[in-house]
Amino acid sequence: MKKKCAMGFTLVEIMIVVAIIGVIAAIAVPNFIQARKKSQATACLRNRRVISDAIDQWALARDRDGADQPGTADIALFIQGSRLPMCPAGGTYQWSDVDNSDKVLCTVHSQQLLTEQDKVVNP
């Protein structure tokens, strides 16, 4: 009599592997989403810092005082590449005047205001 050779996996083994993959995915996916949001917020903060510095440079170069409000084209001249950076989360940037150049807001990340510490450029 020929002995039947069992090839492959049993249903229980496959279910165990699927369960392990499900547990790992349940742990990893929220962390990936959180890391992505944090990365976007950091990039947005960096972009707003660039815009804030460009507003200050515009005021200094054009001899403007605190009440003047620069336009997008004015600021773009003082940004590398002559283009305003874009929020990675799709937000738009808003600013008011030179006195409030540290208050460049994003429609998505507006709760994070620039502080003097954020404006310090690392060597």
51 vs 59 by CB, closer to Zn ion: 51
* Cα→Cα distances 1→4, 6, 7, 83, Å: 9, 16, 19, 80
Residues 43-82 that bind Zn ion (CB under 5 A): 44
Considering only residues 84 to 103 of the shown chain, the ones binding Zn ion according to CB under 5 A are 87, 91
- Least Å distance between CB 94 and Zn ion? 11
Dihedral of CA atoms 103, 46, 119, 67 in degrees, nearest 10, equals: -30
Shortest CB 42 distance to Zn ion, Å: 10
Q: Does 108 bind Zn ion (CB under 5 A)?
A: yes
- DSSP-based three-state secondary structure for 94: strand
How far apart CA 52 and CA 56 sit, in angstroms, is 6
User: Which H or E run includes 106?
Assistant: strand 105-106
Residues counted in the chain: 123
Q: Which is nearer to Zn ion, 44 or 59 (CB)?
A: 44
**What 3-state class would DSSP assign to 105?**
strand
Choice between 14 and 86, CB closer to Zn ion: 86
Q: Of the listed pieces 26-34, 70-78, 83-91, 114-122, which binds Zn ion according to CB under 5 A?
A: 83-91
Provide the minimum distance between the beta carbon of 52 and Zn ion in the complex, in angstroms, as a whole number.
Answer: 14
Q: Where on the chain is the footprint of Zn ion (CB under 5 A)?
A: 44, 87, 91, 106, 108-109
